[in-house]
Amino acid sequence: MLAFLDTAFSVFFAIIAAFTLERLQVKGRKFIKILMLLPLVNPSFIGSLSIIMLFGKSGLITHQLLGLTVSPYGLHGVLLLRVLSSITTAYLIIASALKKSDVVWKMPHEIWEQVKGIY
């Protein structure tokens, strides 16, 4: 179940990120691309420790800033950490496919006019 959810969320967010960064003109594209690749140079235990220190029961964000009693332990915390670490790989695969494809994005009515012209 965890693997399915991890894959589904990672691919979903990677498609959005890849399409936005490769096809649209967004301010700060290079900076966002660097942020997307950051988990590759970061050991996985650093991500785990930072999630626990920021969002743990006595974490900086949850306890001190927001006063919440949310725990990162369990399925939600593990899923969040897995998605954050595997979205980079999915982004790289999808972004390279978008770079290589030479598809012109058309509106549905333009596609329909082309199909009507063929038949």
Distance between CA atoms of 79 and 50, rounded to whole angstroms? 15
CB atoms within 10 A of CB 109: 7
- Predicted confidence (pLDDT) at residue 117 exceeds the cutoff of 90: no
CA atoms within 13 A on the CB side of 49: 5
Tell me which residue of 31, 11, 18, 29 sits closest to 96, measured CA to CA: 18
**Number of independent structural domains in the chain:** 1
pLDDT at 63: 76
CATH of the domain at 20: 1.10.3720.10
Q: Give the tokens for residue 85.
A: 């670490």
Q: Specify the residue for token string 């306890």.
A: 63
Which domain, by its residues, includes 79?
2-118
**Which pLDDT tens digit goes with each residue over 76-105?**
888 888 888 889 999 999 999 888 876 666
